[in-house]
Amino acid sequence: MTQSTVYSTQSSFPLPDVFSSALTELFRSVQPAIVQVRTDLRGGGTGIVWQNDGHIITNHHVVASNNAKVQVLLSDGRTLDAKVLHSNPQLDLAILKVPAHDLTALQVGKSAALRTGEWVFAIGHPWGQRWALTAGIVSSLSTVKLGNGQTAQYIKSDARLAPGNSGGPLLDADGHVVGVNAMIFGGDLSVSIPSDVVQSWIAGLPRGRAVLGVEIQQIELPAAVRQQLQPERSVGLLIVGTSARSASLQDLLVGDIILEVAGTPVSDAATLRKIVAQQQEGDALSAKLLRGGVVLDTSFVMQIVNDAE
């Protein structure tokens, strides 16, 4: 992991050379902990290996789409399928899980200790480039109003960002992640979510994932039902097993066809999984089911399984 730097033998202390060497070294050492996050629809963004057991942090807006196929590309060339565990639109944060246990994670810094004027570095995939580094300073720490009415102290810097940087890290001079790059104001002011906010969000997440615990398969809907639905669709999700669901919950039965969940039509497993990923344990979800030929409006609760499953 260590690398010696080359000093010029001619000057006594060539500060610009040392600065450049230090920054090159910082980049080299953190690069394995920064990933590219790809979905089928969007251009893609950046992700941060937050824990070496495969938990990856990115922005909600990088993975928010009805298509669940998310992939993570590592700097060593490996491509891994990623599951969106939790996604929060107000904070614009999402946590993913990839099947790997030996990843390099970034060290997390203290965003509250940042001072105006200190160097910060952004790494991501802007402008069609991969693993690009931009440098700037903390411009200010300022209060930003979140979607849910709460406020947070966000980091504003002049390190250049472009859309592909979303979800990537803002690093301090020690190479620790102090922010998640999220927005650009006015074309030239970069805004990052403080790492302290990320840490509290993660700490507050249920330890496992919220799941339904049912086995499903797509099924063609009877013509009589199709016409009743807005928008018209021909496919629903038939529940073929409920063995993973607690027997005490009698709200979902084998033979039920799920038509809609939380107001959103579902005709594929991916869409259902996306909605479920945004729920908390104990949440009750409204649903439209087809049971015994009758369309019912009902609700059911989420249960928790460990992330490892």
Amino acid identity at 69: K
Q: Which residue, 87 or 181, has its beta carbon nearer to other proteins?
A: 181
In angstroms, the CA 151 to CA 66 distance is 28
Span near other proteins by CB under 8 A; candidates 72-80, 173-181, 210-218, 296-304: 173-181
Could you say whether residue 146 binds other proteins (CB under 8 A)? no
Span near other proteins by CB under 8 A; candidates 35-43, 185-193, 213-221, 277-285: 185-193
For 7, the token pair is 């000093």
- With CB under 8 A as the contact rule, the residue among 41, 112, 137, 269 that binds other proteins is 137
- With CB under 8 A as the contact rule, the residue among 139, 278, 298, 303 that binds other proteins is 139
* Residues 208-237 contacting other proteins, CB under 8 A: none
Largest CA distance in the chain: 87
Known catalytic residues are: 61, 92, 166
Could you say whether residue 299 binds other proteins (CB under 8 A)? no
- With CB under 8 A as the contact rule, the residue among 2, 10, 148, 248 that binds other proteins is 2
Nearest approach in angstroms of CB 45 to other proteins is 20
Could you say whether residue 143 binds other proteins (CB under 8 A)? yes
Q: From residue 96 to residue 125, what is the string marking binding to other proteins with x (rule CB under 8 A)? A: ------x-xxxx-------xxxxx------
For 82, the token pair is 């990623």
In angstroms, the CA 293 to CA 39 distance is 37
For 108, the token pair is 């997390």
CB within 8 Å of 221: residues ≥ 6 apart: 229, 233, 234, 235, 236, 257, 259, 290
* Residues 36-95 contacting other proteins, CB under 8 A: 52
Among 232, 230, 245, 203, which Cα is nearest to 108's?
Answer: 203
Span near other proteins by CB under 8 A; candidates 28-36, 256-264, 270-278, 282-290: 28-36
CB within 8 Å of 166: residues ≥ 6 apart: 45, 46, 58, 59, 61, 62, 124, 181, 182
- With CB under 8 A as the contact rule, the residue among 58, 59, 172, 245 that binds other proteins is 172
- With CB under 8 A as the contact rule, the residue among 188, 204, 243, 306 that binds other proteins is 188
For 10, the token pair is 């001619």
Nearest approach in angstroms of CB 198 to other proteins is 16
Q: Measure Cα distances from 106 to 34, 139, 277 in Å.
A: 8, 23, 25
Could you say whether residue 194 binds other proteins (CB under 8 A)? no
Span near other proteins by CB under 8 A; candidates 136-144, 197-205, 266-274, 283-291: 136-144
In angstroms, the CA 275 to CA 144 distance is 27
Helix (H, G, I), strand (E, B) or coil at 50: strand
* Contact by Cβ (8 Å): 72, 55: no
Could you say whether residue 140 binds other proteins (CB under 8 A)? yes
Span near other proteins by CB under 8 A; candidates 12-20, 225-233, 241-249, 301-309: 12-20
In angstroms, the CA 229 to CA 260 distance is 10
Nearest approach in angstroms of CB 11 to other proteins is 15
φ/ψ (deg, to 5) at 219: -145, 145
**Binding residues vs other proteins (CB under 8 A):** 1-5, 15, 18-19, 21-23, 25-26, 29-30, 32-33, 52, 102, 104-107, 115-119, 136-143, 156, 158, 172-175, 186, 188-189
